[in-house]
Amino acid sequence: MTNLFDGFNLRGLALPNRIAMSAMTRTRATEDDVPTDVMRDYYVQRAAAGLIVTECIQVSDQAHGIIRAPGLHRPDQIAAWRKITDAVHVAGGRIYGQIWHCGRVAHPDMRGGEEPVGPSPIPATGDFFLPTGRVEFPVPRALRIDELPGIVADFAQATRNAREAGFDGVELHGANGYLQDQFLQDGSNHRTDAYGGPIENRARLMLETTQAMIDAWSADRVGVRLSPSSFLYGVDDSNKLATFEFIVRALNAIGVGYLCLLEPNAKDVERGVQIGNVAETFRPMTSVPIIVNTGFDGTKGNAVIAAGHADLVAFGVPFIANPDLVERLRSHVPLNKPDPTTFYGIGSKGYTDYPVLADTVAA
Ligand SMILES: Cc1cc2nc3c(=O)[nH]c(=O)nc-3n(C[C@H](O)[C@H](O)[C@H](O)COP(=O)(O)O)c2cc1C
């Protein structure tokens, strides 16, 4: 029976196992959003993953929503990413860059006073974290329809930049309440133009973005991440099943390289999800490879692959605390415990200093 440790051909990219590292923001870039050497060390440590997907990477200054998150829209950022992708390849790994626009999930105080933008003047819910403390999200400026082609073009350019920077592919962050997700779901999109209203319109920005990324590289090298059961930052939809069925089928028709689907997390379940088993629900609607994520361990990961609901399993937090996660899962060795106080931070503490099995054996 197929399991996590079998290889997989991801549209021409040979993966030695079916364990992906999920995209995770760790805020270790410089203050002006350039990738750093400690980021290189962090990704190299995790090169045994079948596929690494990086933290979200902003495609423009406007897309910038997290302090010390890296960008991919300036030559110095491209050159710094090149050092990382080269090092990951030398270590035997494969790395996709997750590209992203924060939309309304941002605050003017970390953007030189520039207000965040979104489909409609509806603020994100929850608090935003600034060095000075927690603040509420402001009401975003609704994007004019004539601004949208520029945003799509930023994603196309970031895709070309990713290729130049030596990535193996790119993933559109279409999940977790960020710009394309804000347009997709009717709770955050109250527009009355060609990008709002019926699902054909609400899906337009995500589909145009994906198509532009494919045109900039190739369908094989462009994945899309979706979170049909998440309520992050207040993004919600009156009929998630219909909305996500539409987008999954449309992305399948475009022929994206893969879909990364998030299962609901414990908070989502507590709130009451409309779609309980995401991969199982959407798998029959698409023929593209499926990466599933959220709350998996080795046993559940093997089970979801054996059941045929997904081709790969992405692990997030387990990869933070276990650089050698693949080996630990293979050997059924207990995992290190993650320290959430250092998930976001500066420097190597809680980032590149988690022990690997060899250290434990030597100790
Ligand atoms: C510290 C941290 C940062 C994250 N940053 C991102 C991100 O940049 N992009 C993204 O798509 N998901 C992000 N996520 C979500 C993870 O990719 C993943 O979906 C989540 O942790 C659930 O998977 P897990 O149960 O294996 O940890 C982040 C999660 C954590 C814990």
Largest CA distance in the chain: 64
DSSP string for 306-326: HTTS-SEEEESHHHHH-TTHH
DSSP string for 150-197: HHHHHHHHHHHHHHHTT-SEEEEE--TTSHHHHHHSTTT----STTSS
pLDDT at 170 over 70: yes
Nearest CA to ligand 1 atom 21: 316
Residues 174, 178, 184: CA angle, nearest 5 degrees: 60
**Distance from the alpha carbon of residue 253 to the mean position of ligand 1, in angstroms:** 27
pLDDT the model gives residue 201 = 98
**Distance from the alpha carbon of residue 294 to the mean position of ligand 1, in angstroms:** 8
Can you give the length of the chain in residues? 363
Residue bearing tokens 């040979």 = 14
Condensed to tens digits (0 to 9), the pLDDT of residues 265-296 reads 999 999 888 889 999 999 999 999 999 999 99
- Give the span between the Cα atoms of 254 and 256, in whole angstroms: 6
Best CA proximity match to 216, nearest among 262, 270, 156, 167? 156
Q: Can you list the positions of beta strands (E) in the chain?
A: 8-10, 13-15, 19-21, 51-58, 95-100, 117-118, 127-130, 133-136, 141-142, 169-173, 222-226, 258-262, 290-293, 312-315
Token pair listed for 220: 């094989």
C-alpha distances (whole Å) from 90 to each of 20, 44, 358 are: 18, 9, 21
Nearest CA to ligand 1 atom 28: 24
Contact 317, 338 (CB under 8 A): yes
pLDDT at 98 over 80: yes
Token pair listed for 4: 């996590």
C-alpha distances (whole Å) from 217 to each of 141, 158, 214 are: 31, 10, 5
Confidence band of 110 (pLDDT split at 50, 70, 90) = confident
pLDDT at 344 over 70: yes
Average pLDDT, the chain: 96
Cβ atoms within 10 Å of 327's Cβ, excluding its own: 14
Nearest CA to ligand 1 atom 7: 24
Encode 289-304: b = buried (16+ Cβ within 10 Å), e = exposed. Answer: bbbbbbebebeebbeb
pLDDT the model gives residue 358 = 82
If one residue of 4, 19, 25 were mutated to test the ligand 1 pocket, choosing by the most ligand atoms within 8 A of its CB, it would be 25
**Distance from the alpha carbon of residue 93 to the mean position of ligand 1, in angstroms:** 20
Condensed to tens digits (0 to 9), the pLDDT of residues 198-242 reads 999 999 999 999 999 999 999 999 999 999 999 999 999 999 999
**Distance from the alpha carbon of residue 362 to the mean position of ligand 1, in angstroms:** 31
Residues noted as catalytic: 178
Residues flanking ligand 1, CB < 6 Å: 22-25, 55-56, 98, 173, 175-176, 225, 262, 293-296, 315-318, 343
Sort strands 51-58 and 19-21 into parallel, antiparallel or unpaired.
Answer: parallel
Between 360 and 152, where is the model more confident? 152
If one residue of 22, 27, 98, 176 were mutated to test the ligand 1 pocket, choosing by the most ligand atoms within 8 A of its CB, it would be 22
